[in-house]
Amino acid sequence: MCTNKHTIIESENIPIKLWLKKEQMDEGALQQARNLANLPFAFKHIAIMPDTHQGYGMPIGAVLATKGVIIPNAVGVDIGCGMCSLRTNLTAIDTDDLKEIVKRIRATVPVGFEPHATAQDESLMPVRKGHLPIVEQEYDNALYQIGTLGSGNHFIEIQQGSDGYIWIMVHSGSRNIGFTVANHYHQIASKLNTADGEHVTSDLAYIPESSEYFELYKNEMNYCLAFALANRTLMMERVKTAFKQVLAEVEFADFINKPHNFAAEEEHFGETVIVHRKGATRARQGEWGMIPGSQGTRSFLVTGKGEAQSFNSCAHGAGRIMSRAQARKTLDVKTEVKALKEQGILHAIRSRKDLDEAPGSYKDIDEVMNNQQDLVDVQIELQPLAVIKG
């Protein structure tokens, strides 16, 4: 069945609403969406964004509302992963200055799995409130990881905006502290479900609100959300310093922050539910957000339309069209590099191991944006000038 907005699958316990054609979904992601729709506590329908692809337990680019339970794997292992953007007062930047800025960023922002060599100032960390056992366990290590990019699809990008200004965008998450919290509570959820004789797939193990671990997970998840923001904020400050060292007159404004891996209590369809967004961005009416492409394609600053059927959500990026292993195996380094060079982009592809983040491994961002015209309004288009990848 189709509407003018989305495709609806009605073969499961509750509908699955797709902001893309069914045949555009990989089979793994589609089966995961079906699993979500058959959860006894899933509310109303499942919303699948146009950038969706298979994840762990729940598709990336999916929105699940629940009644009375929270699912750690429906938030994911990178709790609070998201993006922030900042506008400069620059209208152009020459290549030599751009290269020097990138060099200085690389000197102050560790990438990949690298931490800082020394612990960062504790004042940069979110304040701890209440009982946070895993946060306390990982806190000292986190002092070395705040202000670091991480690996995978995380990036720092310098962009030319359609508004005439140079923008900065940072994509990163909660590093190891979020990973450890996520795994800890997923294991607890699995044990709780086994003890109760539940037959929910282990990848979607849940914590009922009657459990003492329900509030514990929420509190630790919220700390990880705050840490992820602090992490991005510190990286953005280091990027700003690099700009100031090269271009003394630069100024900054319009900071935007949006997570896309989190769960939150919200009102939808007249009821209070827990909305899990895994690789999906909240897009309430007028709410600003970011939807990046790849390092070779445009990104977008958008405002939400508050579409009820998507639980006020939209895509979080272009979404993968092939796995990381498949990209490294099938894509060609020279072809991908040539395309980036032709656009004049200072890119992050050096060898075959970097092909998992090549533009060819991602969906067509224009198609993704076209599929969610009812979810967001594009305000500014951003063309990549220089990219630092994890």
Contacts of 106 by beta carbon, 8 Å cutoff, 6+ apart: 388
CB-based burial label for 116 (10 Å; 0-12, 13-18, 19+) = middle
Q: Quickly list DSSP for 96-137.
A: HHHHHHHHHHHHHS--TT---SSPPPGGGSPPP-S--HHHHH
Of 124, 131, 142, nearest in space to 180 by CA: 142
Q: Tokens 């806190």 sit at which residue?
A: 139
Active-site residue identified among 6, 45, 184, 316: 316
Q: How far apart are CA 298 and CA 366, in angstroms?
A: 9
**What does the block give as tokens for 225?**
């959300």
Q: How far apart are CA 186 and CA 369, in angstroms?
A: 33
* 316 is annotated as an active-site residue: yes
Q: How far apart are CA 192 and CA 226, in angstroms?
A: 27
Element (H, E) at 265: strand 261-268
Of 167, 345, 348, 175, nearest in space to 240 by CA: 167
Q: Is 235 left (phi over 0), alpha (psi -120 to 50) or beta?
A: alpha
**What does the block give as tokens for 100?**
């020097």
Report the chain's terminal Cα–Cα distance, integer Å: 41
Q: How far apart are CA 273 and CA 67, in angstroms?
A: 5
Q: Kindly list the catalytic residues.
A: 316
